[in-house]
Structure 1
Amino acid sequence: MRYRIAPDVVWMADDGEVRLYDAGSGEFRTLNSTGAELWILVSEGQPVNAITSEMARRYAAADTGQTDVVVQDVRDFLDALAGQGLLLADDVAPSGTPGPPA
């Protein structure tokens, strides 16, 4: 699965943060450095599994227990952004072919 940035979200990366404006709600938000890293990976079209792997590599090193925490935190954060309408889910099968219709 991949997330993509909702079309009504305007954003910019600046000084280690990402600033967002949701035209649909009229709200501004600022993501801290870790949130900004995730946002950039989403903006690059990275699938969720690649994002969780990359963040685990950056922040958990070889600690399996910490890796599980990082992976869950990343998934929770991305799901929260999707729940707020900032990200949209694109279901894609692992082979790169579209998943079943919703």
Structure 2
Amino acid sequence: MSLQISDAVVWQETAEGVSLYHTETGDFRTLNETGSRIWMLVASDGDREPVASKLSREFAGDNTAVLRRILVDVHEFIGTLIDDGMIEERLS
């Protein structure tokens, strides 16, 4: 599945993280460091699995239990962004 930032979202990277504004809903948020990293990976890679895999490798190292937890958390976070209309998931 391919991920794409919604056309309705204006965003920019700031010192605090990535700031998002959904022009249709008025939703504004600033992502923390981890959320910002996920956002930037979505912006550059656009596929769910590579985003989750890259982030889990960056933060978990060789710890399998932590790696699995990160994968779950990343998928949940991406799901929230999809539900909130910030990103869209499409068939590749």
TM-score by length of 1: 0.85
Give the helix-richer structure, 1 or 2.
2
| Displaced runs of 4 or more, over 4 A | none
Paired amino acid for 2:53? S
SS at match of 1:40: helix
Deviation (angstroms), 1:46: 3.2
1:45 maps to 2:45: yes
Q: Percent identity?
A: 30
> RMSD value over aligned CA atoms?
1.0
Contact (CA 8 Å) 1:2, 1:47: kept in 2 or not? yes
1:83 maps to 2:83: yes
Structure 2: runs of 5+ lacking an equivalent: none
Look at both structures and tell me which one has the larger radius of gyration over its CA atoms: 1
State the distance in 1 between where 2:89 and 2:2 align: 6
Contact (CA 8 Å) 2:45, 2:51: kept in 1 or not? no
Deviation (angstroms), 1:28: 1.1
Paired amino acid for 2:49? N
Structure 1: runs of 5+ lacking an equivalent: 93-102
1:68 maps to 2:62: no
Contact (CA 8 Å) 1:4, 1:45: kept in 2 or not? no
Q: Which residue pairs with 1:20 in the alignment?
A: 20
Deviation (angstroms), 1:16: 4.9
Deviation (angstroms), 1:30: 0.6
How many residue pairs end up in the alignment?
92
State the distance in 1 between where 2:33 and 2:5 align: 18
Contact (CA 8 Å) 2:12, 2:19: kept in 1 or not? yes
